[in-house]
Amino acid sequence: MSGSDEITHVFRWDLDKTYLHTNFDTIVDLLRTAVERPERKRTVPGAAALMREIRASGRVRVTIVSGSPEQMRRSLEAKLRLDGVQWDELVLKPNLRNILKGRFRAVREQVGYKLPALLDARTRAPAGASETLFGDDAEADALVYSLYADVLGGRIGEDTLQAVLDKAGAYPDAVALVRKLAASLSKSDPVRRIFIHLDRKSDPTFFRRYGPRVVPINNYFQAALVLVSDKTITAEAGLRHAASLVIEHDFDVPDLLAVARDVVGRGHVTAEALRAMIECARGVHEPFPLVAHRREQLAKGLEACIPYVTPPPEDVAVDYLAAFADDRARWEAAKLRARRDAQR
């Protein structure tokens, strides 16, 4: 990794349901996941390839902040190495310590864990570094990441912050740490993009309450297109990512074009980015992992997407208390559906 003074972009990833297919809906699920061997763990298609492209993009730092227990560190690190992924920091949840201290609520509660973990990680980032965050729709990632961005941007009052943490059931020491870190960090606006992997198949429109910075994705090719739009990765990196989905995960080009049309129609991809991807698909030098006729098929499909480019969603001031209540109802409904499906 380059020296911290050279880092220009920080990527923060969750693991469970964002990078790995995991199921934490019951205690049995938790135990099964904890003892699962690294080679048996399944990566969400395209996640490892995108992380590799991100790492190769230049002066970046990759931080993983996961709700997985600290006891899984060796297994998770082994899995990441198997996938060829490099990271700079891996923060895991101290669940055993929470249990020994009788803090049973903290085992499942996310806001009081992730928000201070993110703020603490920001203290180790260069002041001018931008950020892109990856999470999922299983619990509170959209809310926590948006709250983190607005705390850094000085857009959250102390009373609102306290009320959200109270609603989430955060313990007093976590609340005190959030307040301390929020006061110590200089006000800036580094968070450029928040991706939410729709593991629970949530309705993307639900996340409009968080504004255009939050992008729900069904597939990591959608994230790659948005990152090309943001100029965070190059068009060639986006094309290589598409190739990895076709070659490593048996996606057809029409599959990629279907998810491309979806994210374009929701206003998250620019015409400039599509044209850059098209030019790259037609101009890349051989040999290239994606054969020429498939690259042309992709180029034609992306050309057909250009008329559907729309402006991004409107910016909004997030009502965090209302969002928390709605999110909690959504989490519980999703968990109930998952349990019913498992019993069928």
Q: Write out pLDDT tens, residues 90-148.
A: 999 876 666 766 665 656 678 889 999 999 999 999 989 999 999 999 889 999 999 99
Contacts of 317 (CB under 8 A, 6+ apart): 155
Structure confidence at residue 107 (pLDDT)? 65
Task: Tell me whether residue 342 is exposed, middle or buried, using C-beta atoms within 10 angstroms of its C-beta: 0 to 12, 13 to 18, 19 or more.
Answer: exposed
Tokens at 207, concatenated: 């996340």
Q: What percent of the chain has pLDDT over 90?
A: 74
Q: Is the pLDDT of residue 189 over 90?
A: yes
Structure confidence at residue 71 (pLDDT)? 84
Structure confidence at residue 98 (pLDDT)? 61
Q: Which of 11-25, 30-44, 228-242, 323-337 has the lowest mean pLDDT?
A: 30-44
Structure confidence at residue 176 (pLDDT)? 95
DSSP structure string for 163-174: HHHHHHT--HHH
Contacts of 197 (CB under 8 A, 6+ apart): 17, 18, 44, 47, 134, 135, 136, 137, 217, 220
Q: Is the pLDDT of residue 1 over 50?
A: no
pLDDT band at 333 (very low <50, low <70, confident <90, very high): confident
DSSP structure string for 140-158: THHHHHHHHHHHHTT-S-H
Query: Span 216-236, mean pLDDT?
Result: 97
Walk me through the domains of the chain, giving residue ranges and CATH numbers: 4-217+320-343 (3.40.50.1000), 221-313 (no CATH)
Q: What is the rounded average pLDDT for all residues in the chain?
A: 90
Contacts of 278 (CB under 8 A, 6+ apart): 299, 302, 303
Q: Higher confidence at residue 254 or residue 343?
A: 254
Residue type, 262: D
CB 91 within 8 A of CB 63: yes
**What does the alpha-carbon distance between residue 292 and residue 298 come to, in Å, rounded to a whole number?**
10
pLDDT tens-digit profile of 40-92? 789 999 999 999 999 999 899 999 998 888 888 999 999 999 999 999 999 99
pLDDT tens-digit profile of 234-289? 999 999 999 999 999 999 999 999 999 999 999 999 999 999 999 999 999 888 99
